[in-house]
Structure 1
């Protein structure tokens, strides 16, 4: 039995989104869409949007069983793009990569919705400690990450797609950086705690309900009937009417 899907596409913040120990935000979404849509995770730790733009079309084609559609693609790149080591890229390239990925999705299916998620805030102190343990040095900075966040918002406006601003998810409507809040929400200065995952999962659901109301899981019908509505004397017909 076919069922349509949501694709989560990004870096390690997406790769870890089904981590049950951290109440992953992808798992949060899958639970909300159970028996309505499949949530498919394609996250690649360490990757940036330059990698992503080349991978997206093959990924979309690989998850397309007959008679089904990808209803929404959530693109969550930028954390590595903003790095100052070899993982990082110029901010103008990042913007163009996001625009290119939106166009790739539209060429595959003009009806597929797109949601961008901006790079989240970091905590420099925690990340520096993490990098020193790995034998490295600090390679992510709050202000550079903010620049990439602003650029993601610009790309969304240009492409005409909504952007979920992670700085508002972390710091509420002001989006004003707060080191204490960032420290509570980040395990190592970059990756999410359980609380951060729950905040993001809730924010994604709220954005979907607002921007794509036909995909609101609270109003979408289940696949297959409620068990009390099945006529067990008329199987299998009553399962599929």
Structure 2
């Protein structure tokens, strides 16, 4: 097995699982490029999981640290899109809002994670295009929408609250960034009145249709917005340094590596 590098872990639901997609802009590939030779980016996105599922799986994903194991430097946590599902007979993903907040807190304070002392980043789930979701869910046999825009927004607000209650945790407000992007690219839409894109009350999907093609999951454009929020948070120890292309490599750059010359290496071996 290759020697362990420090790690960036993407822990979440399908929004992280799909971050590796090669079509268009790949969030994970961009982050791996940013971290190349310094940090391994490990995707633990689990499609369909809510925070209760995640807590039960956590000891298998994050076992107790071993002396020779990899250290988690950054942990990104993105749950809530499934927790916010409505409690329907055809959908078992719902987690009540108060339990969701407790679950998130338990995840970020779990002993198996805390032992690494990572930088923890909580990410709000993105907006929901309920107008699109409603028609899709009915077609899929649910009888009604499995999610509502207003309720999903409450779960994003809950992530903000958990981040605020944990001073060492960094918040990435993906809901806000994507909604602001969608509003800016929807000509004539006035959000100042309280209208929200994707909400049946507004009746307007606007550019949210491009950011959330199926109403829930993100497009390449949306992942690009997400990456622009994340990139400045990872690698502050090497960003902006005089030799940024070489600083903090796990194995040194070939121009400064203290390796033996070829002849000396062969004489010794």
Provide closer, same or farther for how the CA distance between residues 19 and 61 of structure 1 changes in structure 2, counting only shifts above 3 A: same
Give the Cα–Cα distance (whole angstroms) in 2 for the partners of residues 22 and 134 of structure 1. Answer: 27
Structure-2 separation of matches of 1:236 and 1:217? 37
RMSD: 2.9
SS of 1:14's equivalent in the other structure is helix
TM-score scaled by structure 2?
Answer: 0.77
Residue aligning to 2:237: 214
Q: What is the match of residue 146 of structure 1?
A: 153
SS at match of 1:39: strand
- Displacement of 1:25: 1.7
Counterpart of 1:5 in structure 2 is 7
1:169 match: 177
SS in 2 for 1:188: coil
Structure richer in helix, relative to its length: 1
User: Counterparts of 2:14 and 2:113 in 1: how far apart (Å)?
Assistant: 26
Gaps of 5+ in 1: none
Other structure's SS at 1:157 match: helix
Give the distance between the partners of 1:91 and 1:236, measured in 2 at CA.
66
The answer to whether the 8 A contact 2:72-2:116 is kept is no
Cα distance, 1:13 vs structure 2? 0.5
Q: 1:135-193: per-residue Cα shift (whole Å, max 9, x none)?
A: 223111110011111111000111221111112221349x9643313212012000111
CA-CA distance at 1:16 after TM superposition:
0.8
Structure 2 CA distance for aligned equivalents of residues 64 and 204 of structure 1 = 28
2:264 and 2:152 map into 1 onto residues whose CA distance is 55
Normalised to the residue count of structure 1, the TM-score between the two structures is 0.85
In the TM superposition, 1:100-179 aligns within 5 A as 100-104=106-110, 108-109=114-115, 111-136=117-142, 137-160=144-167, 161-172=169-180, 177-178=196-197, 179=205
Separation in structure 2 between the aligned mates of residue 10 and residue 73 of structure 1, nearest angstrom = 10
Larger C-alpha radius of gyration, 1 or 2?
A: 2
Contact 1:11–1:48 under 8 Å retained in 2: yes
> Residue 227 of structure 2 aligns to a residue in which SS?
helix
One of 67, 73, 76 as aligned partner of 1:74: 76
Q: Which residue of 213, 227, 230 maps to 1:201?
A: 227
Q: Within the alignment, does 1:225 sit opposite 2:258 as a pair?
A: no
Distance 1:112 1:189, change over 3 A: same
Q: Which runs of 5 or more residues in structure 2 are unaligned?
A: 184-190, 198-204
| Structure 1 pair 156–3 and aligned structure 2 pair: CA distance change class (3 A) | same
Residue pairs, 1:85-104, within 5 angstroms: 85=88, 86-104=92-110
Question: What secondary structure is seen at the aligned counterpart in 1 of 2:218?
Answer: coil
Per-residue deviation, 1:105: 5.2
